[in-house]
Chain A
């Protein structure tokens, strides 16, 4: 049995990445994820053949990721909201070139410089592409430090499997909190060989080219369609958690740290004879739309709670497709939702 360690969220992501064979990290400091960059420096600078660079900017960092991934490296970068905005051009290039990598976004309040407090305002940016053009990231939303570990490892595997960038979408609270974690035995064989496509020595084979553009509209359409087909395949990777869904008075949909807060609200509600069910998307892209639709036919009311003005609620409404009444409750700007206010909102809706 692997030993249990008490770790801070951000550092747990770093250790998980190294555990998963990540040997290249390029980043730029930003609150509330700076501990992750520092952790990668501490660890990678001591590993022979690995590389850590504090890049001159997020733009440089993501383009280092692009190069490292093209050369076959298992590579990660991380940032928080404004920094992720700067990375978007590079992420779009990586998606077009069909290269794997992991991008961590420990969200803070926004827009603009916003605040350094936790928020979930980057849902649209993360799940709808974020950069220019037709593409998606694989987006995983942990809600505990243990999940930061497990989903970081999973993000590397999925990004390699589909040759598509994967994002860990957490928030400042998750990055900063400490919880016990376990690192399971890691099977290094899960890192696929990249010799059949990565750049390197071309001795004994044709030269390879990684080209994220095509000026011929028909050819580009073909490429975008091929990438689009990959998104169809990715749908089978949907993951979600359901909690307390037998005979609920109402179902709440929430992800990440907010889902944990909802669980506390559920305990409080029980004491008052109110039965709240929870469905928590773990993969935000692919989105568990079918599961939500399924549950919608069993309840009258669905409440979506987010630390934003309401972003995921749009995907929930599409999934529910009129089968239940969907309402929204959110706090934004870095204000953390409390279990009490969630319960009040539920009571108001059930009245």
Chain B
């Protein structure tokens, strides 16, 4: 029988620790496929965040380090400056990247560190049990916005791709989703492109992946996908926000 589908070699044999229906697993797979397709696994150093994906260090078959909550872009910067020939990526949740680590992501992007950031936006804090994230939608109920996020006192959800795209320096910024096969194909292309930008030395690349958290949203996996499409995509439009083909040095 012909094998048409298999686990990418860039993943280890260790089973994922994610809840059923959670997109973290799909995102891991897409990163691993990109590493395989680009043949960079053995050259790659990954940085796991603090959040549900803290265990990402176990799942990728490349050198990995766990960063402090929010500080992955700084840790990645240190690694890349010592090992410029290696491919360096961070994997970060929205609490990690858009809340505690806002300064680190903005400045790593602004220095156009030659790293790739995979930013998982599930509109909530997963690991700590469903508190409000900076990306939590208006009116969304969480543990710490029990009456719904009220923009008057809690601000509006932060759009990271749009925010970072106002900077001159980053080379590639895109937002993708995974709720349909067509989206997954695009997401895979986006992640691959982000790594390719780093391989080509063009500068900072980031892919935001809209993701589900069925557990803390209190929805079944199917309902979670529907909720994401209905509520998140209208506020967080998909697409490429920045795609500086020549690399930053040529566009100043």
List the interface of chain A (C-beta within 8 A of B): 24, 26, 51, 53, 55-57, 59-61, 63-73, 75, 89-90, 93, 97, 199-203, 207-213
B66 & A213 in contact (Cβ 8 Å cutoff): yes
B42 & A202 in contact (Cβ 8 Å cutoff): yes
B78 & A207 in contact (Cβ 8 Å cutoff): no
Question: Shortest CB–CB separation between residue A207 and chain B, in angstroms?
Answer: 5
> Closest chain B residue to A90 by CB distance?
B68
CA distance A24 to B61 in the complex (A): 28
Interface code B65-103, partner A: CB below 8 Å = 1, 0 otherwise? 111100100111111111101100000000000000001
A71 & B79 in contact (Cβ 8 Å cutoff): yes
B226 CB-CB contact with A under 8 Å: no
Give the residues in chain B near A202, CB-CB below 8 Å: 41-42, 61-63
What are 29 inter-chain pairs, A to B, with CB distance below 8 A? A51-B82, A56-B103, A59-B74, A60-B74, A60-B103, A63-B67, A63-B104, A64-B74, A64-B75, A66-B68, A67-B75, A67-B77, A68-B79, A68-B81, A71-B78, A72-B83, A73-B81, A73-B82, A75-B82, A93-B68, A199-B65, A199-B83, A200-B63, A202-B41, A207-B62, A207-B64, A208-B63, A209-B64, A212-B66
Given A68-B78, A203-B42, A63 and B68 touching (CB < 8 A)?
A: yes
CA distance A201 to B42 in the complex (A): 5
B107 & A209 in contact (Cβ 8 Å cutoff): no
CA distance A222 to B101 in the complex (A): 31
CA distance A35 to B30 in the complex (A): 46
Partner of B83, one of A64, A71, A97: A71
> Closest chain B residue to A26 by CB distance?
B78
Give the residues in chain B near A57, CB-CB below 8 Å: 103
Question: Shortest CB–CB separation between residue A78 and chain B, in angstroms?
Answer: 15
Partner of A213, one of B42, B43, B54, B63: B54
CA distance A173 to B61 in the complex (A): 50
CA distance A60 to B67 in the complex (A): 11
Give the residues in chain B near A71, CB-CB below 8 Å: 45, 78-79, 82-83, 86
CA distance A3 to B78 in the complex (A): 34
Question: Shortest CB–CB separation between residue A197 and chain B, in angstroms?
Answer: 11
Question: Shortest CB–CB separation between residue B151 and chain A, in angstroms?
Answer: 27
A66 & B75 in contact (Cβ 8 Å cutoff): yes
Give the residues in chain B near A89, CB-CB below 8 Å: 68
Partner of B79, one of A60, A199, A213: A199
Give the residues in chain A near B111, CB-CB below 8 Å: 53
CA distance A51 to B43 in the complex (A): 21
Secondary structure type dominating chain A contacts: mixed
B57 CB-CB contact with A under 8 Å: yes
Partner of B45, one of A26, A63, A97, A199: A199
Partner of B63, one of A24, A51, A59, A209: A209
Partner of A66, one of B64, B67, B83, B103: B67
Give the residues in chain A near B67, CB-CB below 8 Å: 63, 66-67
> Closest chain B residue to A52 by CB distance?
B81
CA distance A201 to B60 in the complex (A): 14
B43 & A55 in contact (Cβ 8 Å cutoff): no
Question: Shortest CB–CB separation between residue B14 and chain A, in angstroms?
Answer: 11
A53 & B62 in contact (Cβ 8 Å cutoff): no
Given A72-B82, A207-B62, A210-B64, A201 and B43 touching (CB < 8 A)?
A: yes
Question: Shortest CB–CB separation between residue A26 and chain B, in angstroms?
Answer: 7
CA distance A57 to B78 in the complex (A): 14
Given A199-B83, A202-B63, A56 and B75 touching (CB < 8 A)?
A: no
Question: Shortest CB–CB separation between residue A233 and chain B, in angstroms?
Answer: 25
Give the residues in chain A near B83, CB-CB below 8 Å: 71-72, 199-200
B63 & A207 in contact (Cβ 8 Å cutoff): yes
Question: Shortest CB–CB separation between residue B198 and chain A, in angstroms?
Answer: 15
> Closest chain B residue to A92 by CB distance?
B68
Given A24-B82, A63-B104, A202-B62, A53 and B68 touching (CB < 8 A)?
A: no
Give the residues in chain B near A56, CB-CB below 8 Å: 103-104, 106-107
A70-B75, A199-B65 given; 11 more Cβ-contact pairs under 8 Å: A51-B81, A56-B104, A60-B71, A64-B77, A67-B78, A70-B79, A72-B83, A199-B79, A201-B43, A207-B64, A208-B64
> Closest chain A residue to B104 by CB distance?
A60
- Residues of B204-229 at the interface with A, using a CB-CB cut-off of 8 Å, are none
B78 & A65 in contact (Cβ 8 Å cutoff): yes
- Residues of B134-162 at the interface with A, using a CB-CB cut-off of 8 Å, are none
> Closest chain A residue to B100 by CB distance?
A59
Give the residues in chain A near B64, CB-CB below 8 Å: 199, 207-210
Question: Shortest CB–CB separation between residue B90 and chain A, in angstroms?
Answer: 10
> Closest chain B residue to A101 by CB distance?
B78
CA distance A36 to B47 in the complex (A): 30
Interface code B150-193, partner A: CB below 8 Å = 1, 0 otherwise? 00000000000000000000000000000000000000000000
Give the residues in chain A near B81, CB-CB below 8 Å: 24, 51, 53, 64, 68, 73
Give the residues in chain A near B43, CB-CB below 8 Å: 201, 203
> Closest chain A residue to B58 by CB distance?
A209
Give the residues in chain B near A72, CB-CB below 8 Å: 82-83
A200 & B45 in contact (Cβ 8 Å cutoff): yes
Partner of A67, one of B42, B54, B74: B74
CA distance A207 to B60 in the complex (A): 9
Residue of B12, B74, B78, B107 contacting most chain A CB atoms (<10 Å): B78
CA distance A147 to B250 in the complex (A): 47
